[in-house]
C-alpha cells in the first residue's frame, strides 16, 4: 500500500442544460476578465474530463453538502486559530472574515479539476471576482480507495502546515523576491481579503495509482507587497460582530470585498 501527497421531458432537459452550459462558457470567454490570458472557464473540459483524462477511468468527485461543509469549516477553524493569536509566531487579526461557499468559484475550480492535470490554470476570474486565488493538492494511492472527507481534511491541513516555514514579517509585507520553502497555500488561507471559497475534486488512475485532485478557488488572491492580514486586537475592526462559533472571525455579514490592482502573489 503506497500513498503519495502532492502540493486541484429528458430530451428537452438535455438541450436546456447544454444551452446554459454554453452561455456560461461564453461568459467566461470575455477577454476583459483575464487581460489577454486564457480563462479556464472558456471552453472548459466536459463532465467526462479533458483529453488527459482519456483512458484513466476519470470521474468527478461530487462535492456534496458534507464535503462542502467540511472544506468551509476547516478553513474557518484554522483561520480562527490565527485570528485569535493561537498560531505560534503570528499575531492576532483585527478583521478576519468568516469564509462562505460560492458556487461560481466552485464552477471554475471544476473546469481546472476535470483537466486531469495537476497544475494552476492561467486565470479563473469571473464577472464578479477580478483577482481569484487558487490552492491545489493531489494525493495518489496504490491498492486502496479513500473517503473524500478524509482526503479533504488531509489536503487542507497540508496547505496550512506551511505556516511553519513562514514568518510574521512575510505576512506583514510579502516580498516580491521571495525564495524558500512553499508558503503560498498558507498565505492564501490566511488572507483577510477573501471571504468566499469554492472547490472541486477529480479522480483518475495514473500508472496504477488512484489519483485524487482538489482545486479550491478563493474570491481574492493575496498580492505581493501588501499585508496578508491586518494584525492587532482580536476582531476589533469587525463591523457587524463576530462569528458565534469562531470568535476570532468577523460575522458573515461583515465580509467585505477588497480588490486593488497589485501584482499577484504566486501560490
Q: Is residue 136 part of a domain?
A: yes
Q: Is residue 43 part of a domain?
A: yes
Kindly state whether residue 263 falls inside one of the protein's structural domains: no
Do residues 160 and 186 lie in contact, with contact meaning Cβ atoms separated by under 8 Å?
yes
Mean pLDDT for 129-135 is 97
27 found inside a domain? yes
pTM of the model: 0.87
User: Is residue 261, in this structure, part of any structural domain at all?
Assistant: no
Q: Is the pLDDT of residue 5 over 90?
A: no
Phi and psi of 101, rounded to 5°?
-80, 145
Closest CA to 170 of 244, 108, 224, 102: 224
pLDDT at 147 over 90: yes
pLDDT at residue 11 tops 50: no
Instruction: Identify whether the C-beta of residue 85 lies closer than 8 Å to the C-beta of residue 91.
Output: yes
Residue numbers of the domain that contains 166: 2-254
Mean pLDDT of 167-188: 94
On whether residue 71 sits in a domain, the answer given is yes
The CA–CA distances, whole Å, from 58 to 44, 135, 146, 266 equal: 16, 21, 15, 29
pLDDT band with cut points at 50, 70 and 90 for residue 146: confident
- Has residue 267 got a pLDDT over 60? no
User: Average per-residue pLDDT in the chain?
Assistant: 88
CATH value at residue 144:
3.40.33.10
Q: At what angle do helices 148-160 and 65-83 cross, to 10 degrees?
A: 20
145 within domain boundaries:
yes
pLDDT per residue over 26-35, tens digit each?
Answer: 589 999 999 9
Question: What pLDDT shows up at residue 175?
Answer: 84
The whole-number pLDDT of residue 177 equals 86
Q: pLDDT digits over 41-66, tens only?
A: 999 999 999 999 999 999 999 999 99
Q: What is the pLDDT of residue 261?
A: 33
> How many other CB atoms sit within 10 Å of the CB of residue 253?
10
pLDDT digits (tens, 9 = 90+) for 191-249: 999 999 999 999 999 998 999 999 999 999 999 989 999 999 999 999 999 999 999 99
Q: What is the 3-state secondary structure (H, E, C) of the chain?
A: CEEEEECCCHHHHHHHHHHHHHHHHHHHCCHHHCCCCCCCCCCCCCCCCCHHHCCCCCEEECCCHHHHHHHHHHHHHHHHHHHCCCCCCCCCECCEECCEECHHHHHHHHHHHCCCCCCCCCCCCCCCCCECEEEEEEEEEECCCCCHHHHHHHHHHHHHHHHHHCCHHHHHCCCCCCCCCCCHHHHHHHCCCCCEEEEEEEEEEECCEEEEEEEEEECECCECCCCCCCECCCCCCCCCCECCCCCCEECHHHCCCCCCCCCECCC
Nearest to 196 by CA among 122, 259, 115, 147: 259
pLDDT, one tens digit per residue, over 107-124 is 999 999 999 999 999 999
> According to the model, what pLDDT value does residue 26 have?
52
For the chain, the domain total comes to 1
- Residue-wise over 229-248: b if at least 16 C-beta within 10 A, else e? bebeebbeebeeebbeebeb
Q: Which residues pair with 93 in a beta bridge?
A: 231
What is the spatial distance between Cα 22 and Cα 116, in angstroms, rounded to a whole number?
22
**Mean pLDDT of all residues in 124-148:** 94
Q: State what percent of residues in the chain have pLDDT above 70.
A: 85
Per-residue pLDDT band at 174 (split at 50, 70, 90): confident
pLDDT of 143 over the 90 cut: no
Residue 91 in domain: yes
Quick one: pLDDT band at residue 145, thresholds 50, 70, 90? confident
Q: Mention every residue, 6+ apart, whose C-beta is less than 8 A from residue 23.
A: none
145, with CB counted inside 10 A (0-12, 13-18, 19+), is exposed
Cα 157 to its chain centre, rounded Å, is 13
Amino acid at each position: 500500500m503506497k500513498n503519495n501527497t502532492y502540493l486541484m421531458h429528458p430530451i428537452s432537459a438535455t438541450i436546456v442544460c447544454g444551452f446554459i452550459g454554453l452561455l456560461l462558457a461564453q461568459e467566461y470567454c470575455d477577454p476583459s476578465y483575464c487581460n489577454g490570458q486564457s480563462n479556464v472557464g472558456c471552453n472548459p473540459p466536459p463532465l467526462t474530463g479533458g483529453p488527459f483524462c482519456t483512458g484513466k477511468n476519470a470521474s468527478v468527485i461530487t462535492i456534496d453538502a458534507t464535503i462542502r461543509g467540511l472544506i468551509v469549516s476547516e478553513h474557518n477553524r484554522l483561520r480562527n486559530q490565527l485570528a485569535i493569536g493561537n498560531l505560534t509566531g503570528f499575531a492576532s487579526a483585527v478583521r478576519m472574515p468568516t469564509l462562505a461557499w460560492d458556487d461560481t468559484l466552485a464552477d471554475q475550480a471544476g473546469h481546472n479539476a476535470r483537466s486531469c492535470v495537476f497544475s494552476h490554470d492561467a486565470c479563473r476570474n469571473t464577472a464578479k471576482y477580478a483577482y481569484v486565488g487558487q490552492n491545489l493538492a493531489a494525493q495518489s494511492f496504490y491498492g486502496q480507495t479513500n473517503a473524500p472527507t478524509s482526503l479533504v481534511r488531509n489536503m487542507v491541513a497540508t496547505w496550512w502546515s506551511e505556516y511553519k516555514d513562514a514568518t510574521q514579517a512575510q505576512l506583514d509585507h510579502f516580498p516580491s523576491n521571495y525564495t524558500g520553502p512553499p508558503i503560498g497555500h498558507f498565505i492564501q488561507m490566511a488572507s483577510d481579503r477573501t471571504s468566499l471559497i469554492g472547490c472541486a475534486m477529480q479522480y483518475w488512475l495514473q500508472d496504477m495509482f488512484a489519483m485524487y485532485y482538489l482545486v479550491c478557488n478563493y474570491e481574492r488572491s493575496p498580492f505581493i507587497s501588501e499585508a496578508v492580514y491586518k494584525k492587532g486586537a482580536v476582531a476589533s475592526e469587525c463591523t457587524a460582530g463576530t462569528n458565534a462559533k469562531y470568535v476570532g472571525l468577523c460575522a458573515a455579514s461583515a465580509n467585505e470585498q477588497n480588490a486593488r490592482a497589485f501584482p499577484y502573489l504566486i501560490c
